Amino acid sequence: MSAAPLSAMALGLAACEVCGLLSRPPAGGAAAHCPRCGERLHFRRPASFERTWALVIAALILYIPANLLPVLKTYTPLGARTDTILQGVVELWSPTSWPLAIVVFVASITIPLGKLIALAYLLITVQRGSLKSNVQRVRLYRMVKFIGRWSMLDVFVDTFIVALIQLKPLMWVEPGLGVVFFAGVVVLTMVAVNSFDPRLIWDLSQQEP
Amino acid sequence: MSHVSGFASRLLACPDCDLLQRLPPVRVGAVACCARCHSPLWRHKADSLDRTLALSLAAAVLLLIANTVPMLGLSVAGRETFTTVFGGVLAMWRDGQNEVAMLVLFTALIAPALEVGCLLTVVLALRQPPAPPWVGTLLRGYELVREWSMIEIMLLGVLVALIKIAELATVIPGLALFVLGTLVFLLAAMAAVFDPHEAWERIEWVHPGSAPADPGAVAIPQVRR
């Protein structure tokens, strides 16, 4: 039971990211593939910091038009009206449907921003060589990965409102440009989470005696 | 074929912190968690492949129904409109939001269909081990697409849309809405009973070769009920 806690990498073993098989890539840095499933073998996800930073910054830029531009345009005989994501939440707020308004607010505004802040925090602490609260940081990463998909909610809401309210010339709804930017934020943050390698959090403590 | 480095040797690395560990005996229903970062490593699931087969078969049937019958209707001043999931995609496409239409098409239709289709084929093929390497390719596809299969999120989105519209017009819930509701639970159950480790153990290796030497004493995961 007195086994020293060693990472697979420290022993020269790479765990396949697809099937989990441990194997020893040949020395010399030639491209190695998992003998069981054929996936490219890496000790750590390639260029994890660079890719994740690039995706986080791109998502942060798209987050601005996603929230400022309208996602829905409603046409009635009385005129046209546009709604941004936040206006959609406010409109949903009523004595009976306020719980749903909170869900939409959390999914569309809090989760994407929280995800970007969490990833930036993980990147900065790992790059500065922090050794503190590793367990909490891995837990944060798992939570971000698990909850992140739910920010797609507003894209689906807008899609089905547009599909249903088609009663020309009485009333109809068209999607606004904001929904494209918002969908971009969701996709980029999901890819960013996958390009970050949580094992990097532990690599520094591995070198400790 | 040597399996020294495989799961049969009960040796594995934590996907979240890379700690090398050897699995102790795990009772059915219990889960082994990483000794260092507490990520769940492996849950001992009873009868995994048979249960997955039953659930994925049911999910395939429901998925077919959910996408062919109307999901939501709207009635205002004597006029009615109906839509399916695919109707939502078409509406976005028609209004020039092609990227969003493709994203909805993928996350609400293609990814769930691939998720169920791949897994169903995999568990069927695994009934006679060792399964050929193409089964591994399908299993890889299943793992890749799972995160993008968003039926449960779409259903919540439909619910929000329904409540927003209810102020303006009478909403008629369609059969597909109830089928999708059942499907959400079925897909969750399907993922919960499936054990990818057991599946990989039954698939032929792409490059059968020598396995690396066993490193001997390594950390032991914690087992939780």
Query: Which among B20, B103, B143 is the nearest to A187, CB-wise?
Result: B103
Average pLDDT, chain A: 90
Put simply, whether B150 touches A (Cβ < 8 Å) is yes
pLDDT exceeds cutoff 90 at B63:
yes
Residue found under tokens 């403590």: A205
The structural domain count of chain A equals 2
Q: What Cα–Cα distance (Å) separates residue B32 from each residue in B2, B23, B26, B44, B167?
A: 25, 7, 7, 8, 50
Range name among B33-37, B81-85, B138-142, B193-197 with the lowest pLDDT average: B81-85
Put simply, whether B16 touches A (Cβ < 8 Å) is yes
Query: Is A7's CB within 8 Å of B18's CB?
Result: yes
Query: Which among B6, B74, B100 is the nearest to A21, CB-wise?
Result: B6
Q: Do A64 and A123 fall within a single domain?
A: yes
Q: Do A7 and A22 fall within a single domain?
A: yes
Q: Do A63 and A108 fall within a single domain?
A: yes
Q: Do A98 and A166 fall within a single domain?
A: yes
Q: Do A134 and A153 fall within a single domain?
A: yes
Query: Is B19's CB within 8 Å of A38's CB?
Result: no
pLDDT exceeds cutoff 80 at B156:
yes
Task: Give the domain extent around A117.
Answer: 47-207
| Structure tokens, B63 | 């998925």
- CATH of residue A53's domain is 1.20.140
Span A35-49, average pLDDT: 90
- Is this complex scored with an ipTM above 0.95? no
Q: Do A8 and A90 fall within a single domain?
A: no
Q: Do A30 and A103 fall within a single domain?
A: no
Q: Do A86 and A169 fall within a single domain?
A: yes
Q: Do A35 and A53 fall within a single domain?
A: no
Q: Do A33 and A71 fall within a single domain?
A: no
Q: Do A65 and A114 fall within a single domain?
A: yes
| Structure tokens, A127 | 């790059």
Task: Kindly report the pTM of this predicted structure.
Answer: 0.90
Q: Do A113 and A139 fall within a single domain?
A: yes
Q: What would the pLDDT profile of A162-209 be if each residue is shown by its tens digit?
A: 998 888 878 889 999 999 999 999 999 999 999 999 999 988 776 554
Range name among A16-30, A45-59, B16-30, B88-102 with the lowest pLDDT average: A16-30
* Interface size between A and B, measured as CB pairs under 8 A: 234
| Structure tokens, B109 | 């239709």
Q: What would the pLDDT profile of B184-199 be if each residue is shown by its tens digit?
A: 999 999 999 999 988 9
